[in-house]
């Protein structure tokens, strides 16, 4: 009887622990396999480079996180069948270079880069303001079809 009293709480803890572990495992597997999960957030690498894939109809990643006052080189990789671009509105920034491919280029001080289908464009700038902004494709209806993302400057 004494042995049972000592033994019992441990068995109970073991069962609860095992069930918890299984529940966590199942939750983790479900989250990873769920196609509705938003794509991972994009963060610039140590050398300030970040690739954003454009396609019909969206960007990947959909959320980009940049650091204020740190130079970033965004490579717009057009993986789609038609021309796309990436434009950021309302962000105070020092534009260093915009190198587009295809027929569209931005105005002089715009944060804009275009990329022809199967091509890449490069946009280099220094964000000078923290906050949350939107980036999108300016071509007709592309934004409405899903070519829109969030840019966060920390």
**Residues found near Cu ion in the complex (CB under 5 A):** 84, 137, 139, 142, 147
- Closest to Cu ion by CB, 4 vs 141, is 141
* Residue number, 64 or 137, with CB nearest to Cu ion: 137
- Find the shortest distance in angstroms from Cβ 80 to Cu ion: 7
Compute how many other C-beta atoms are within 10 angstroms of the C-beta atom of residue 7: 10
Whether 133 and 90 have beta carbons less than 8 Å apart is answered as: yes
Q: Between 91 and 147, whose beta carbon lies closer to Cu ion?
A: 147
Tokens of 105: 């280029």
Q: Least CB distance from residue 87 to Cu ion, whole Å?
A: 10
In the complex with Cu ion, the residue whose CB is nearer, 50 or 139, is 139
Q: How far is the CB of 137 from Cu ion (least distance, A)?
A: 3
Which alpha helices (DSSP H) does the chain contain, by range?
Answer: 2-33
Residue with tokens 């091509």: 119
Helix, strand, coil percentages in the chain from 3-state DSSP, rounded to 5: 20, 40, 40
CB of 84 to Cu ion, least distance (A): 3
């Amino acid at each position: 009887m004494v042995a049972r009293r000592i033994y019992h709480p441990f068995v109970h803890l073991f069962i609860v622990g095992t069930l918890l572990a299984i529940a966590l495992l199942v939750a983790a597997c479900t989250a990873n396999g769920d196609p509705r999960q938003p794509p991972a957030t994009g963060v610039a690498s140590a050398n300030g480079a970040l690739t954003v894939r454009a396609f019909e109809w969206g960007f990947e990643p959909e959320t980009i996180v940049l650091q204020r006052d740190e130079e970033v080189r965004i490579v717009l990789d057009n993986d789609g069948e038609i021309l796309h671009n990436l434009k950021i509105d309302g962000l105070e920034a020092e534009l260093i270079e915009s190198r587009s491919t295809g027929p569209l280029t931005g105005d002089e001080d715009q944060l804009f880069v275009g990329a022809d289908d199967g091509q890449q464009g490069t946009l280099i700038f220094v964000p000078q303001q923290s906050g949350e902004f939107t980036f999108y494709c300016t071509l007709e209806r592309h934004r409405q079809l899903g070519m829109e993302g969030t840019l966060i400057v920390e």
